[in-house]
Structure formats: C-alpha cells, structure tokens
Amino acid sequence: MCEDKACHCGCEKLDVPKIFGSNVFNDRTMKERLPKETYKALKKTIQQGLPLSPDVANVVANAMKDWAIEKGATHYTHWFQPLTGRTAEKHDSFISPTDDGSVIMEFSGKQLAQGEPDASSFPSGGLRSTFEARGYTAWDCTSPAFLKEDASGNVTLAIPTAFCSYTSEALDKKTPLLRSMEAVSKQAIRVLKALGNKTARRVTSTVGPEQEYFLIDKTCYEKRLDLIVSGRTLFGAPSPKGQELEDQYFGAIKDRISSFMKDLDIELWKMGISSKTKHNEVAPAQYEMAPIFSTTNIAADHNQLVMETMQKVALRHDLVCLLHEKPFAGVNGSGKHNNWSLSTDDGQNLLEPGKTPSENEQFLIFVSALLMAVDRHADKLRASCGNPGNDLRLGANEAPPAIISVFMGEEFTNILEGIATGKKVQSRGQSFLHIGVDALPPLPKDNTDRNRTSPFAFTGNKFEFRMVGSSASISGPNIVINTIVAEALDEIATRLEKAGKNGLNKEATAIVRDAVKKHGRIIFNGNNYSDEWVAEAKKRGLPNIKTGIEALGYMATPLAEKLFDKYQVLSPKELHSRYEIYLEAYVKHVNIEAQASVQMVRRLFVPAGMKFAAELAAGIGALKSATAPATVQKELLATVSGLLAAAAEKLAVLETAIEKAHHVAEVAKRAEAFRDKVVVAMNALRKDIDALEGVTPTEIWPVPTYAEMLFKL
C-alpha cells in the first residue's frame, strides 16, 4: 500500500497510466467490452452527432452496467448541470425485482439515454410552468460515463447528460454549450473550405481551464459562519503579513498541502481528468491546478468534477477548499484562466501561427475573427463572468480589470498594423505582407506570454480569457466565446465564398485589414491595471462595466437575442430565463451575506466588544478604588464603546437596507438595490467591526483571525 495514509489509490505504488481513466467508460473500455458493430455504431453517433438508436443504447447500457458493477457500483445517476452553476444527481439503484422475491441488476438503453427527474426545484426562469414539472435528461455521449466514488466506498455510475424542459427548452448549461460548439464548428468549416481545405469535417473548440483555490484548516472554517454560508470572510482585520513578500507564488509546497494535492491528482486521474500542473499561487494559502486541455464540453464537465473533488478531498485532510472568487479581503482572489482554441479533425490548431504562407493566411483570418468577436461583444463576455464573487475581484488591483481588451504582443500588433495600413512591418524591416503569398516573420514564442494583466491574451497558440470566476461553471463564458466567434467566422466565410478562388488572397488580406482597422481598438499590450489604461479605454470607446448585474443587462438586449437566436444557441426565451435567474441568484447571494453579517455582528462581535468593555470598566473601577490612574483603560474603553455605538448604527442601516431591497418588485431593480444599498451598508459595518477586532484581546475575539486562517497550515 502507499505509505501515505491519505492516499486512497489502493495500489502498491503509484502506477499512473494504470490509474488514469480507470473509472471511465472510455474508448478503450468500450472497445474491449462492446461487440464490434455496436462499438462502431456508437463511435459514429459520437463523431457525427447522430441520435442514438435504441438497439445500440441497450447493448451499451448493459456493458456499462456490467463494468460498473464489477467496479463496485450499485447505483447510476444522470449527472447534469442546472442553472445553479453546480451539478445535480439523483441516484437510482440497478435493482429490479423478480417473481421469486429476489432482485437482478438491470440497466436498459432507455435508462441510459433518457431520464426524467422532477425539475420543479431547479431554477427555470419561467421556462417551465409549475404544472409541468417534468424535465428530461439526455446522455451527452461525447462525454464518457464515469464512476463517482465517495470516501465510504459508495460507487455510482454517472452519465453526463443535458437537461431540458418538456418543451425542449434548455434548463441547463450543457445544452447551449453543445449548441455553441456546433455553431462555431459549422462556420469555421465554411471558412476552411473557402480557404481550400478539403479534409477537415469538424472543428472543435478546446479549453484548458486553470483552477485557483484556497485551502484553510477545517477548525478555522467551522468557527466562521461567513465562510460556512457564503464561502468568503465578511469580516476580518488584515493580517500583519499578506502577500507582499511574494514568497508564496511557486514557493515550495508544504507537506500537508502536497499530501492533499497527491490525493487530488489520484482522484482526478481515476476519472480521466488530466491534472497536469500544481503550484502555490500568489496569495497565502492559495493554490492552482491546471489540466491538459480538452474538448470544451468535456473540459466543462471535468472542471465541475475538479471543483467538487477538491472540496471532498480537502475534508479528508482536515482542510477546507474555498472556491470563492474573493475569500479574503486584501490579498488576491481566485479566478479561472480559460485557455481557448479551435482544432480541426484533420489535426490543426487554428490559432497556431504556421510556417507556410497559406497556413499563415488561415491563422491570420482566425485571429481576425477573434478580434472582431471580442470587440463587438465585450459586454457579453463580461456578462458571462458576472457573479457576486467576481464583483469583488474584477477591477481591483489584481485580477484582470473590468475593461475587456486583447493582448497580442508588440510583434504581432506590428504585423497586424502593417497589414492594415499597407506599410512596412517595422520591427523586422519586412515589406508589406501579402497574405497567402508571404510567410509571417518568425515570432519568438516568449513574445506572447508576458502580459499577465490582460483579460484576453494571445498566448502563442490559444487565447486565454482570464476573467472567469473561480467558482463559476466555465460553460457560460465558452458559450459566449463560441457564439461570437461563430458570428465573425460566418461573416468572413461569406466574404471569402463571394470572392471565389481567384480573388481569395486579396479578399483574405482585406478581411484582416478591415478587422484591424475596425476592431484594432480592442488590442492593448500595456499594463491593464494602470489608470492611464482606464482613461485610454474610455477614449477608444471600450466598455468599462464595473458590476456583474450591470453586465447582465447586455444579455437582455434585442442585439443579444438576435445573436444567440441566429446561431441557435439560446432562443430569446431561453436567454431571458438566464437573465432572470442570474439576477435572482445575485439577490439571493448578497442576501445570504447580509443576513450572515447581521447575525455575526449581533451574536458574536457585539457580545465580544461588550465583554471587553465590561472588563475594562471593572478594571477602571478597581483602579479607582486603589486610587491608581486608569488613563489607558479609559481611552481604550472610549474607543471600544465608540466602535460599538458606530457598529450599532451601521447595523440598523444594513437591516433597513435589506428590508427595503426585498420590497423592490422588479428583479433588475431589486438586484441594483442589493448592490447599491445592501453591499454598501455591509462594507460600512465591516469597517467598524474590523477596527474593533484590532483593539480586542485575542482570547475574547470569537472567530479565527486572517493570520490564523492564511498562515496556520
């Protein structure tokens, strides 16, 4: 057995290739266990997105069940992603009664292909009327079934599914994601065909999401209501040490953390999740895990499992994993870097600069599509990253700012500008590039990945969208990226098709030139955290959308409706349902934080302050009778009493703000009231309480301090 007690791999030593994917009904297992004909039929279904025939489904279901039972499974679940941003599962056992009172283990093709959970308790934003509570789950056979294991040895066969209403409207995050992948594939193929590609039949959007997180000691967590109910600290005076020494980033990993990470890797590898990189992040107690990229829907499924597994495994180590975007004030928050690209089934990465003129023509066309898409729809990209946690992060001096721009690097920008103006490409003394005729000057790789402040950065062969919140599903942002790129590629394809073979190179050059001329304002290679950039962006007319709910408003416009409808990603009704759900979610989250603030102040901090005040008063009395001076005590008592009185006032303001905000009838206005009144009142209250913490003896303060949480591991 492994020396490490926390290791649950059950192996003699770590045989990673053997562990990897051992809990996945993957291609290898299917090949082994399915009759040849069934295997072929299923592969065709997967590759061509065809409907699953009942005969094939029955054979696959049976093989899947046998495999799962051999591995200890007793139940199966249709695993789906409702609009809560979390995952959902309802477990059914395989048992089926027989005449003689015993049971056999059964799993039919119908049970594999479709489920019918009661959907009435999931947010639907008006898509599902209460009298028709049924929702349907349907197997997304492009994402393989896998086994979920828990610490007590329960094993469940999980089938990744899409979740729709009775009337086929998407109630989840997976359905529109799959539709957006289809849309971008269709338009990219048109472009490739117009450029002369004869082999590619499908283009897949690929994603590698880097996941940041915090780990703290479980005993600290359990003493803090704010962490328990809202995932972040609502109070807390700063620790004397924060991240200023820059000694955490890439620092040596402590044993306790390393042990957690090892256990996490094993659990992820078993589920076929290619956990690749792990390291300490910038803030104290902050870490990161990056997987190897995969197809977007699988990356989205896997990222949900990563978050869930991090939380589960942490508990085994008496740790708690915090996925919130901003668990601690004053140090960096957590995000998710969404590395995105397009790859073809004939083996090309469409964002990889090539070596030949025609490869580069293709590359520049796809880069142009990105520039067009991001500039036209920066508001929607911003909206896809809006959640209450990210409001505390975006625009602060750490994460990408709320203004969206694209980093291309100096060299590239020069080339693009050269094409746009027909001038010489300055940096390399090259003359005007004729796209499709000339080769690009070779670009030094490290040229592209130096700007860590950009929200949308070209990093050599992919774009890295850095605005996504750490706790969020990556589906939303990728739905937007795929759809807006599909729109740009659609326009480009139409132009290229019209130009025909003879006019191709000229038109390709014109497309790049137009993209740079019209949308070049989105390129910014400087420091995105600087005030100059805020002013410059304003001059360029780039939106600076400070809060998530403001951004959400851009998803409720006729323009947005038209876009998502045209590419059949979300109907206007489906889009609107999301707008309503996310506004409601904002209100609920802020309300939870506000209620927790009130409770903590009333039941913890005020009593602690009063206790200290009473001790001081008693001390002053005793000193008085001893005719000794009590100057220090008196001053301290005045400070404590003053802070208590101030906090009481702010508490009343907060309670009134909550009450009033709840009474605002229209949801968008209600969300604004929570943002502008409740959040503001919470922050004001926090100031007094944090000041009180600063003067109160440690043994009286009722919750663990920032220093304890961030450094006691």
Q: Determine the interface stretch with Mg ion among 98-106, 125-133, 249-257, 329-337 (rule: CB under 5 A).
A: 329-337
Q: How many whole angstroms separate alpha carbon 149 and alpha carbon 74? A: 11
16 binds, among Mg ion, ligand ADP, none (CB under 5 to 8 A by kind): none
* DSSP letter, residue 13: S
| Closest to Mg ion by CB, 111 or 339 | 339
SS3 for 601-660 is HHHHHHHHHHHHHHHHHHHHHHHHHCCCCCHHHHHHHHHHHHHHHHHHHHHHHHHHHHHH
Antiparallel, parallel or unpaired: β 456-458 and 406-407: parallel
Rg of the chain over Cα atoms, rounded to whole angstroms, equals 28
686 binds, among ligand ADP, Mg ion, none (CB under 5 to 8 A by kind): none
Spell out where 68-126 has E strands: 73-79, 91-93, 95-97, 103-105, 114-115
Q: Are 85 and 325 in contact (CB under 8 A)?
A: no
Question: What is the phi/psi pair of residue 496, to 5°?
Answer: -65, -40
| Closest to ligand ADP by CB, 359 or 449 | 449
Calculate the alpha carbon distances from 358 to 192, 196, 369, 509 in Å: 11, 10, 17, 12
Q: Are 337 and 465 in contact (CB under 8 A)?
A: yes
| Closest to Mg ion by CB, 161 or 525 | 525
595 binds, among ligand ADP, Mg ion, none (CB under 5 to 8 A by kind): none
| Site membership for Mg ion, residue 336 (CB under 5 A) | no
The residues of the shown chain that bind ligand ADP, judged by CB under 6 A, are: 206-208, 210, 290-293, 339-341, 349, 449, 459, 461-462
568 binds, among ligand ADP, Mg ion, none (CB under 5 to 8 A by kind): none
- Tell me how far, at minimum, the Cβ of 346 lies from ligand ADP, in Å: 15
- Tell me how far, at minimum, the Cβ of 457 lies from ligand ADP, in Å: 9
| Closest to ligand ADP by CB, 128 or 462 | 462
555 binds, among Mg ion, ligand ADP, none (CB under 5 to 8 A by kind): none
564 binds, among ligand ADP, Mg ion, none (CB under 5 to 8 A by kind): none
290 binds, among Mg ion, ligand ADP, none (CB under 5 to 8 A by kind): ligand ADP
Q: Which are the contacts of 140, defined by CB distance < 8 A and separation ≥ 6?
A: 160, 161, 162, 174, 178, 297
Q: How many whole angstroms separate alpha carbon 505 and alpha carbon 566? A: 29
The three-point CA angle 502-506-512 to 5° equals 140
- Tell me how far, at minimum, the Cβ of 192 lies from ligand ADP, in Å: 16
| Closest to Mg ion by CB, 128 or 462 | 462
696: nearest Cα among 632, 623, 612: 612
| Closest to ligand ADP by CB, 294 or 577 | 294
- Tell me how far, at minimum, the Cβ of 462 lies from ligand ADP, in Å: 4
* DSSP letter, residue 703: S
Q: Is 113 helix (H, G, I), strand (E, B) or coil?
A: helix
Q: How many whole angstroms separate alpha carbon 330 and alpha carbon 704? A: 16
| Closest to Mg ion by CB, 224 or 337 | 337
208 binds, among ligand ADP, Mg ion, none (CB under 5 to 8 A by kind): ligand ADP
| Site membership for Mg ion, residue 337 (CB under 5 A) | yes
| Closest to ligand ADP by CB, 414 or 459 | 459
* DSSP letter, residue 134: B
- Tell me how far, at minimum, the Cβ of 515 lies from ligand ADP, in Å: 21
* Number of separate helices (H) and strands (E) present in the chain: 25, 17
Calculate the alpha carbon distances from 230 to 226, 235, 388, 590 in Å: 5, 12, 11, 9
Q: How many whole angstroms separate alpha carbon 584 and alpha carbon 564? A: 22
- Tell me how far, at minimum, the Cβ of 399 lies from ligand ADP, in Å: 15
| Closest to Mg ion by CB, 79 or 458 | 458
Determine the residue with CB nearest ligand ADP.
208
Dig out the tokens for 540 from the structure: 């360029």
| Closest to ligand ADP by CB, 340 or 701 | 340
- Tell me how far, at minimum, the Cβ of 466 lies from Mg ion, in Å: 8
| Closest to ligand ADP by CB, 22 or 303 | 303
| Closest to ligand ADP by CB, 398 or 550 | 398
| Closest to ligand ADP by CB, 59 or 305 | 305
- Tell me how far, at minimum, the Cβ of 453 lies from ligand ADP, in Å: 14
- Tell me how far, at minimum, the Cβ of 298 lies from ligand ADP, in Å: 12
Q: How many whole angstroms separate alpha carbon 602 and alpha carbon 594? A: 12
462 binds, among ligand ADP, Mg ion, none (CB under 5 to 8 A by kind): ligand ADP
Q: Any idea which residue has 């009130």 for tokens?
A: 598
291 binds, among ligand ADP, Mg ion, none (CB under 5 to 8 A by kind): ligand ADP
407 binds, among Mg ion, ligand ADP, none (CB under 5 to 8 A by kind): none
| Closest to Mg ion by CB, 200 or 399 | 399
- Tell me how far, at minimum, the Cβ of 210 lies from Mg ion, in Å: 5
207 binds, among ligand ADP, Mg ion, none (CB under 5 to 8 A by kind): ligand ADP
- Tell me how far, at minimum, the Cβ of 249 lies from ligand ADP, in Å: 12
DSSP secondary structure string for all residues of 523-536? B--S-TTSHHHHHH
Q: How many whole angstroms separate alpha carbon 711 and alpha carbon 43? A: 51
Calculate the alpha carbon distances from 468 to 344, 412, 427 in Å: 25, 25, 34
Q: Is 108 helix (H, G, I), strand (E, B) or coil?
A: coil
DSSP secondary structure string for all residues of 341-408? EEEETTS-BTTS--SSHHHHHHHHHHHHHHHHHHHHTHHHHHHTT--HHHHTTTTSSSS--SB--EE-
- Tell me how far, at minimum, the Cβ of 482 lies from ligand ADP, in Å: 13
- Tell me how far, at minimum, the Cβ of 296 lies from ligand ADP, in Å: 9
- Tell me how far, at minimum, the Cβ of 452 lies from Mg ion, in Å: 9
Angle between helices 679-695 and 631-662 (to 10 degrees): 160
Q: Which residues bind Mg ion (CB under 5 A)?
A: 337
